[in-house]
Amino acid sequence: SLYASTQVKEGTIVAVDFLPLDDTKISLNLPNFNFIQGDFTESETKQLIVDALVQERANLVMSDMAQNFLGDSQTDALRTLNLCEQALVFSAGGSCFDSSYSPKSDEGMLAPGGSFLCKFFSCGKENEEDLMQAAK
């Protein structure tokens, strides 16, 4: 997120992480950079993101979240894929998945025409198919 903040000339950047960000790495020349230390899966953290955007919608959502690894590659990949799905629903709204998956909100934080980028670890096409379809 710090690198992205050096590349984005206009707009707001909101970064979220469990771990604290080293204040010495935040340049004073990044007035539109907002850091939130928290758990993205908690509603309080999501509300802080909404508040930081000051009623704007995002043009780009990037997620490199990953669960703490348990040591089983399939389980670790599926848990990280679940975070990607949660980030996509937050970004694009619940309508990106079928109604059985959809949360309460149908509108996400992503502006019309915006982009969503996430990382996940390969866990088999059958497990990745829903995310790939929903992201289209």
Give me the catalytic one of 9, 104, 119, 125.
Answer: 119
Cα–chain-centroid distance for residue 41?
Answer: 10
Can you tell me the distance from the alpha carbon of 81 to that of 22, in angstroms, rounded to the nearest whole number?
A: 27
Helix (H, G, I), strand (E, B) or coil at 128: helix
Q: Would you call 125 a catalytic residue per the annotation?
A: no
Q: In three state form, how does the secondary structure of 4-22 look?
A: HHHHCCCCCEEEEECCCCC
Beta bridge partners of 37: 17
The two three-digit tokens of residue 128, written as one number:
């990745």
Catalytic residue numbers read: 119
